[in-house]
Each structure stands twice: as C-alpha cells, then as structure tokens.
Amino acid sequence: MKMTHAGAVTFRFTDGRPLFLIVSSSTGAHWVLPRGHIEAGENAEAAALRELCEEAGVVGNIVAPLSLQCFQKSGERVIAQYYLVQAVAEIQAMENRTAKWVDGEDALQVLSFEEARRALGEGAEWLARQKSGPTDIDRSAI
C-alpha cells in the first residue's frame, strides 16, 4: 500500500497529563487531526510535521509511528500514516483554522471521523504505557 497522506496525533503535558491537539477542518464543519497529502519528494514524517505547522502553527518532534489508517474521502482512497508528535513550540499557522488542546476523552468525543479517533486512541494508549518505563518524552515542553 502506498501512503497518500500523513498526519499528527499531537500532545503536550499540562499539569502532568497529556492534552491532544484538534483542529477545525478547512471548511470549519468538523474537528480533525492535522493531516494532508504527502508531496512529491517528501517522506511521511516530513509531511506530518509540515501539515502540523501549516494547519495549527505547532512545531513538534515525532515520538512514535502509529498504524496506517485507510478510508475514503471525496471518492479518493486515502492511506494515511499518523505519527505521535510531542509539541515543542507554537508559531503562526499558515491556514485559518481553530486549534484547541483537549484531554483524550474529550478529543475522542468531538473528532468527526473514525480514522482520527482510532489514531488518537492509539497515541493515547502509547503514552499511557510510557508512564512505567524509561522514555524520551519531555514532560516540561510547551
């Protein structure tokens, strides 16, 4: 399967607990995760981080790859590689979208699409497993 899109399940810690980033869709009608096409000459990791910056104005570091998500969008078969990304800085977004940080349960309730809920759930589970062992996660980042 050839990946067509890449996206980010982005988190930061607030008061010791992870919050996840959700953004409004380009139409404003849905809540989604930052995601977009992988451009020519670009790998999936770079595409995920680029889309995160463009859509939400967030700079991040990839912590782990998540499962591929396959779905149909406007008649197109989409194969999206999501990554778990830790936010490290905020900049001016290139797109005019609303972004907000919410806890995992709230994110799962408001995300509009099943593929995004699956990716976020997987990222939240990955983070929960890290509490008991050594990790490269910076709990003091933004």
Other Cβ atoms closer than 10 A to 106: 14
pLDDT digits (tens, 9 = 90+) for 32-54: 999 999 999 999 999 999 999 99
Q: Going from the N-terminus, what domains does the chain have, and what CATH number goes with each? A: 5-130 (3.90.79.10)
pLDDT in tens, 62-119: 999 999 988 888 888 989 999 999 999 999 889 889 999 999 999 999 999 999 999 9
Cβ-contact 8, 35 below 8 angstroms: yes
**Phi/psi of residue 80, nearest 5 degrees:** -110, 130
Asked if 63 and 85 count as a contact pair (C-beta separation under 8 A), the reply is yes
Half-sphere exposure of 100 (CA within 13 A, CB side): 12
Looking at residue 62, its amino acid is: I
Instruction: Show the tokens assigned to 110.
Output: 């408001």
